[in-house]
Structure formats: structure tokens, C-alpha cells
Structure 1
Amino acid sequence: MLHLIWFSSHNKYDECKITELKSLLHIFGYEDEGEALLNDRDKHKGEVFVKVNLPEDIDWKSVISRSVLIKGIIQVWSEGTTYDEVLNDLLKKEHLFSSNLEDKKWRFHFNSFGKMVSQNDKVKKMEHFKIILDKYPKVDLSSPEVELSLLEEYDQGNLGILKKIFFGKSMALRKNNKTLVYRRNDEGHMINDVRTKKTQLAWWIHYSLNKRPVLGPTTTDNELAFLMCNIAKVKAGHIVLDPFVGSGGLLITSSIFNAICVGNDIDIRLLKGYKIAYLNPHMQHKSRNKNIFENFLHYDLSLPEILVSDNSKPVWNAFHKPWVDAIVTDPPYGNRATVRICLRNTRTGAPAEGDNSDGEDGGDSGESADNRDRCDVGDKSGPGSPPQCDVGDKEGPGPPPQCNIVDRKRVKSLMSTKTVTYSCTAAVKDLLNIASITLVDNGMLVFLLPVQLENLEEEIAILKHDDFFLISYDLQTFTPCSGRLIVSMQRKCRKPSN
């Protein structure tokens, strides 16, 4: 059956709409229905209305209940460029009206994209179909059993020119969804029947960053976090890992969907709230704590398991079977947050080369010679990129190796651990290696990758990995020359061991 997917006109995440739709169909058990959608992804760029042939038995209300970019799903009964054309076509399909409206309460919904339509004009347009609808008098605006939809699309190039008219049955509309506030009942189970006062708002507004008690410097955008979890197919009971957990924004979203959350980060200041996080000045606070758990407690969510670790030296057990269903993460990049790894010393108390603690409380890091690890810093190529530096790979006892090519500005003390920046490319490779070890077969890896648009093909090339299928890479543009990819990859099934 032909369905019309009505998407939000979203400037930031328009390219994610088909990826999200396909993933949501998978979540609710319709794995084969969305396979052809990604093949036409370029065709649908900038489109608000997308027509797809999908079965009638899909639970669209469940699909739209989680979607960020879908506004409605319409079962198309007729379409045309003029109202007379649509009416004449519908007169040949009166069986659709009798089977859906006979002895049922119904109402009419009108919406236009590309032009504001006055209330009087809306009524006139709907009355154009009076000859058919007068046979079904049970109109109920408050609690209908069936809702008919009339949608108009206007040409964006020639403003005011009607491009297309769609008439059909509403399968699900976001405006009918309650604004959900997830809570726990006495048995500890999640419930979602609590409504906020402003029910006209989208359900995810309740979790906006400005409504959280503790704010971090680079927390992932609220809408983007929900999008990433949808693309990762996160659902109840899944184990979700965020290797760059930071202030925990992505794990909050995963917890809302009842996932079991685990995260790690190299910067203990973010996890503890030292000097970086701050309390929301527009809220009253029961506690002055600024650690990563405060926002989870505020929303009455299950607390995640958090540890401090370096992703270049994974701590995850690789000897037992894979245990992570999805990895959803936002690696740090830019001026406010950089990717860092531990700078190892071979002698306790020995200062790191180029130490620059920026006045923070932190001690010297050190290890015995028997516990030294190799730390490869920087594999970035091109002008201005830091050269590669191996820190702490010296055989035998003695003073720590000198590494004069480590830029002083890149070395930093995080509490008692010296760290140094390294390239985003190296961080992505470490992330792929962690995902390869920990993800279950067909598990999803979703992350953000900053790119230079002029080198887009080269940037995408680093995503190649023998253990993963590259599912999608949706571009969000920041400037004419830069942006970031919302990358989704799927773990290949492992070969059975003999």
C-alpha cells in the first residue's frame, strides 16, 4: 500500500530522516520493509513528503512515538495537482470511505507545507469533498476513531504555486502523541503515561539541555542524541556503551529507552563535575553535586556504570563472548574538547615532558618499568599535523625516554594523570577496534565524525573496517568547508569457530 511519510523540515538533520525511518522499522520488527529506502537517499534530500510502498499492518503509532523527524504517516488514497483531479479520483474509490468511515467517528486534518493557509481557506478546501463525506455524519473532533488527512505541498522555487495535493487516511500523527515523561512505578518499572502541561510540545522537549540540572561544556544536542539512539536501534534491555561518555548526554537518552548503560572517559573532571560542569542557574537544586549521575537522578533513570579509562588501551574483556548491543558516542573534537590519551612515564614522580597543567590540581603520573605501555600519539597527515610520537616504550630500567616532538601545549594534567592530545583519525581507529571486540553480531556503532568537505572521500575512507558494514553517513554542514558525519556501522557476523 502506498504511504506518504511526512517529515519535519529540519535544517540540521535532514539527511538523517531515511536512516532513522529504516532503523525504527527494524526496531519494531519490520526488517525487510525499509531495505530499499537507503538506495534512494539522495533522491529525498530536502523533501518533506516521501512516498513509499509498505504493508498496511505496520504499527505506525509505535514508530512515530520514537521518531524525531517524522511528523505523520498517511495512507494515500489519491493525489493530484488540482482539487478537481483528486475529487474525481476519489469518486471512483468510494469503497475506501465506506470500509473506513461506516458507523465510525471521524475528523478531518489539513496541513500545508510552503504556504500559510487561513482557517477560512482550510474549511473551503475540505468542503470540496463534501459530496463524498456527507454520507458519514459521525464527526467527532475530540476523540475520533478515524482521521482523514488533506496535505498540500507548495513549490519552494515559485512561492505560492501549488505543487501537489495528497488525500488519505492518517495512520499516525505526531500532534496526537502525548508529551512523555518517563517515570518509575513502585515496582521499579518504567511508565510513560504522565503528561506535561504543554502537550503541544514534542515529547523530547522535556529532556532539553536547558531543563537538566547539571550542564557540561560539550553535551550532545538533545534531538541529535535521540536520533543517534534511534539509528543505533536502542531498545529495552540492550547494553549500550559510550567510550567518550563525557557528561553522559547520550546515555541519558539510552536510559530513557530502558537500556542498560555503560560509559568511560579519560577525563575524571567531567565525570566528577570538577571545574568544568556547572549547575543550571534557571533551576532550583536539591543538591550541589555536579557529577555525571545528577541528571539521571533528576529524570529518575537507571544509573549507568562509569569508569575512567583510556580508549587507546582498551580495558574491555576480549576473552569472553561479545556483550554490547550498541555503541553510541560523540568523540570530542574542536577547541573546547580534544581527544586525549594517557602519557605514560617509566619512573614514579618523574615529570612528563612539556608538562602544562594549566594551574589545575594534579600530580605527576608514573609507573614501574614492568607496567609500561606504548602510546602512539598522532597519526594525522597534512600540514600543521603533529608528528607521531611513541611515549614510554623503552626496554629496561632507567630514566623515562625523552620525546621532544610532543608539543608542550598538548600535554595536560587531568587530576593525577598526564594526558596528551592525539588525532581524531587515531581516535576513530581505536573506537572501531573497541567496537569490533565488544559488539555482538549485527550490533550497531553510531558516532559523529568531523570532516572537511573538500576532503570528504578521504575522510570516509578511514571508516573502512573488515569487521563492519558501513550503513550510512549523513552529513550535517557547519560552514561552507566543514561539517560532521553521523556515521552508523553494523558489526558483521563472526565466523563460527571450529
Structure 2
Amino acid sequence: MEYLIRFSQSLETFRLAEIQALAVVEGIDLEVISYSDESPFCLVRLPSEEAAKALLRRSILAQTIHEHWGTAETYDELHRIVKRETSHLWAQYKQASFKINIDAYQGSRSSERKLALINDFAYLPFDGLVILSSPDQEFTIFEQWEFDAVPRNLPDPLRIYFGRLVGHGVRELVKTYDLKKRGYISTTSMDSELALLTANIALAAPGKIFYDPFVGTGSFPIACAHFGAMGWGSDIDGRSVRGQGGAKSLEGNFKQYGLERLLGDVFVSDLTNSPMRKARILDGIVCDPPYGVREGLKVLGCRDPEKDAQIVEKGKRTYRNPSFVPPKKPYSFTAMLDDILNFASDMLVDHGRLSFWMPTANDEEQEIPVPTHPCLSMVVVCTQAFNKWSRRLITYRRLPDAEVDVSALEQRKQAEQVQGRTADDLNPFRRVYFRGFKPEQGSGDNVAS
């Protein structure tokens, strides 16, 4: 059966990725018939109405889904299609209360014109009452107009859809988890909409274990917990996790939403010094690694252990002190990306997903390439564009060992990571950020080199 999804007109490159991920979560056979980032309408084929409802019951970007009754470029053509293709369905709704809406995307209709367009569907043999509030059945006329159709005074839409409402998304969750209402946040806490989307695309679900190695105030584990997954996390700075205690802490955030039973634990660590035993136990890894713009990236440790022996010895004596701040050393941005992929390959179960955010310049010549790993298959790359730079949500799937290219994996293990000494050497994104994303003068070098 064909169904029409009405998306919100935001985060366009995330919309199809979320729906396809939710089809995996729900075990639904989904076929995308037509879709474009330029339009909020997506036509899909699904096995049943129950599948359509299940597909949207945790979607953040899909507003509604409708049984598809017809699509055309003119109303005359639409009426012919509806009469020809759906007359066998009419008897089911003969006595039901109903209403018909008009959704004019990028267009506008007067109240009089809306009523006239609705009355043109009078041939539908519905004898039930017209009820505007909570009818038994709800039908919608969707009009897709050209950009700036209203100021240009265009007479007709580009395309018209007609369908029967069968299900809703849960876009209201964005407000429920709004950071403005959260008890404890920091300057790097992830926006609730993007955190929930990340959890969906990474396939968070009941019975699964999800982990964020840059947990901060817990935005990602909270989003995963909402969808039933057990959330774990770690951070190089224990102060961000502990906060002020009580409601002003990561644990307090979980309690605010009644999700404390789905908080596994959090601990102080970084990817290069993790206490976690290498074992394929994680169903998902979701994170927003630090970009190292405000200050250079750091990991636990000393630049020179011999020279800083006194600091090391002091740390051994005082590390249990709540005010203890461990020493840190510079860290390469590209090494961090490689370490995230290596960690995921060691820890994810077969088909488990890694979804992490990564910045890049919009200029193709300065763009940071998407990292790869022989054990991980690219699922999707979604982009949130800003002015001169963008951040991408990159999602991978852990391949079963039998599908891994062994020779490529061995070459990766033997490859040496080139290290620099300054913050700019270690972080190509930081370098171009402070250069205003302009090409380097007198040099053919670029970010990808």
C-alpha cells in the first residue's frame, strides 16, 4: 500500500535517514517511491496501516502519515484518479464522522477558496457528520507551491496530494526535552532535536546498551533512554558529569525526565585511556566529540612523563580527591577520529551503529574527508549547514567479522599516525576556522592533505 509522509521543513538531509532507521528498528519493509530534500512530502510503500503507524510513532521529523489516495498536477486530474483508484475504499467510511483539511505548502488560500476546494470532493459518498474536532476520519488536501508563490501571485500549485490520516510523529518531544527547560546544561550540550534524531538514526531501542564517550551533561544518553536503551557515558572532565550534585548534575537530568532506571553509569576517562575491557557488547555509540576550537584538544597524560614525573607521582597520591584535575596533553583531531572508529570496531556488536558529529568547511577544497574503517560500513551522512562550515552526523554499521576486509584491516594497524606539535598542527578544522575558511596564502595545502 502507498502512504504519504508529511515532514517538517527542517534538517532536510536527516529526514529520509531517520525514517529508514525507524523501519529497521520496527522491522518494517519500507520502499521509498519518491522523495526530494526540496519537498516535505515523501511517498512510500508499506505492508499495512499498522506498519505506517509504527513507522512514525517515534519520528522527530515526520509530522503525519496518510493513506495515499492520489497525486496530480491539477485538481481535475486528481479527482479522476481518486474516483478511479479509491472507490473500493469509500464504503468503509460511509457512516464515519470526518473532516477535510487543506495544507498549502509555500502557498496560501482564502477561506472561501478552501471551502470551494473541499466541496469539490462532495462526490465521496460519506454520510457521517462533519466534525472539526476529533472526527473518526481525517482527510487532507496537500498543495505544493513554487517558492515565493504568494508574493508572485501564482495561480496554481505545482502538485496536489490527497490522503487519509493514519498516524502522527512525536515532534512534541523536542519541546519536552528542550534545553531551556533542563535543570543542568553546559555550553556544549546538544540540542534536543538533534540528540533525539541521533538516537533514532543509531537505532536506540529497549534492551540495547548505548554509550557516549564525550558525555558532558548527558544529552545523548537521555535521548537514547527515552527510546528505551540503557545509557552509559564517560568524559575526560568529571566536573561536567558531577555538576553541583542533585538536580544540577547528569544524574539529575535523568531524574528530571523519570529515566533514572535507564542510566547505567558514567565515569571519568578518554578514548585513549579507557577502563572498558575490549568486548563486543555495545549496541550503539553516539557522541559529539570536541572540535578543539576554543582550545586545543587534550587527552589524559603528560607531554613528557620523565620530565613531568613529579606531576605523575602527585596524581597517584591525590587522584581520589574530588577536586583532583588530571594532567592532559595535546591530542590530534584526526587521531581522535581514528580512535573513535577503532573503539567502535572493538566494542560494537554485529550491525551495531556508531553515530558521531564531525565539523567540516563548506569549501570542497578545505573539506575534511569522512573517516573510514575496514570493520565499519558507512550507513548515511547527514549535514547541518551553517555559514562557512557545517557539521555532519556520520553513521556507520559494524560489519560481522566474516565481511571485514582482513588485508585492509592489517594495513590500517600498520599505518603510522602523523603527529604535530602545536594545536593548529594537530587540528586541521581549527586551523581553517581561525583563518576564516580562506585558502592558505602561497600554499597548495588544504584540510584534506
- The TM-score normalised by the length of structure 1 is 0.72
Tell me what 1:394 maps to: none
Distance 1:219 1:121 in 2: 46
Tell me what 2:74 maps to: 82
Shift in CA distance, 57/288, structure 1 to aligned 2, threshold 3 Å: closer
2:233 corresponds, among 244, 257, 263, to 263
Tell me what 1:487 maps to: 394
Shift in CA distance, 304/117, structure 1 to aligned 2, threshold 3 Å: farther
Alpha-carbon distance, 1:113 to partner: 0.4
Tell me what 1:377 maps to: none
Which residue identity is paired with 1:314? Answer: S
Distance 1:475 1:22 in 2: 16
Whether 1:172 and 2:152 are equivalent positions in the alignment is no
Tell me what 2:140 maps to: 149
Deviation string for 1:185-237 (max 9, x for gaps)?
xxxxxxxxxxxxxxxx8233111000111121210011000000000110112
Which residue identity is paired with 1:8? Answer: S
Aligned residue for 2:167, secondary structure, equals strand
Tell me what 2:172 maps to: 202
2:337 corresponds, among 411, 420, 428, to 428
Deviation string for 1:89-121 (max 9, x for gaps)?
323345244243133333223211002334333
Deviation string for 1:397-423 (max 9, x for gaps)?
xxxxxxxxxxxxxxxxx9431113323
Distance 2:13 2:226 in 1: 24
Whether 1:350 and 2:258 are equivalent positions in the alignment is no
2:298 corresponds, among 325, 340, 346, to 340
Tell me what 1:117 maps to: 109
Q: 2:351 touches 2:397 (CA, 8 Å); kept in 1?
A: yes
Whether 1:33 and 2:24 are equivalent positions in the alignment is no
Tell me what 1:253 maps to: 223
Tell me what 2:287 maps to: 329
Q: 2:30 touches 2:44 (CA, 8 Å); kept in 1?
A: no
Distance 1:423 1:109 in 2: 55
- The TM-score normalised by the length of structure 2 is 0.79
Which residue identity is paired with 2:354? Answer: L
Distance 2:46 2:366 in 1: 33
Aligned residue for 1:473, secondary structure, equals strand
Distance 1:67 1:88 in 2: 33
Which residue identity is paired with 1:71? Answer: Q
Q: 1:264 touches 1:306 (CA, 8 Å); kept in 2?
A: yes
Distance 1:291 1:57 in 2: 42
Shift in CA distance, 260/72, structure 1 to aligned 2, threshold 3 Å: same
Alpha-carbon distance, 1:454 to partner: 2.4
Distance 2:378 2:369 in 1: 10
Whether 1:300 and 2:258 are equivalent positions in the alignment is yes
Structure 1 runs not aligned, ≥5 long: 178-200, 275-286, 353-362, 368-413
Tell me what 2:431 maps to: none
Which residue identity is paired with 1:264? Answer: S
Shift in CA distance, 444/99, structure 1 to aligned 2, threshold 3 Å: farther
Whether 1:95 and 2:87 are equivalent positions in the alignment is yes
1:357-436 mapped onto 2 (5 Å cutoff): 365=315, 415-436=324-345
Distance 1:164 1:311 in 2: 51
Aligned residue for 1:92, secondary structure, equals helix
Alpha-carbon distance, 1:494 to partner: 2.1
> Identical aligned pairs, as a percentage?
27
Aligned residue for 1:220, secondary structure, equals coil
Structure 2 runs not aligned, ≥5 long: 318-322, 404-449
Whether 1:107 and 2:99 are equivalent positions in the alignment is yes
Tell me what 1:460 maps to: 369
Distance 1:19 1:456 in 2: 26
Q: 2:23 touches 2:55 (CA, 8 Å); kept in 1?
A: yes
Aligned residue for 1:233, secondary structure, equals coil
Tell me what 1:53 maps to: 45
Report how many residues are paired: 390
Tell me what 2:214 maps to: 244
Distance 2:13 2:85 in 1: 36
Shift in CA distance, 289/147, structure 1 to aligned 2, threshold 3 Å: closer
Distance 2:259 2:326 in 1: 31
Tell me what 1:221 maps to: 191
1:7-26 mapped onto 2 (5 Å cutoff): 7-10=7-10, 13-26=11-24
Deviation string for 1:70-107 (max 9, x for gaps)?
11222221222222222233233452442431333332
Q: CA RMSD in A?
A: 2.7
Aligned residue for 1:44, secondary structure, equals coil
Distance 2:309 2:292 in 1: 31
Deviation string for 1:5-55 (max 9, x for gaps)?
211111xx211111001001111111x425x68xx8xx7222211223333
Whether 1:5 and 2:5 are equivalent positions in the alignment is yes
Deviation string for 1:155-200 (max 9, x for gaps)?
11654341111112222234xx6xxxxxxxxxxxxxxxxxxxxxxx
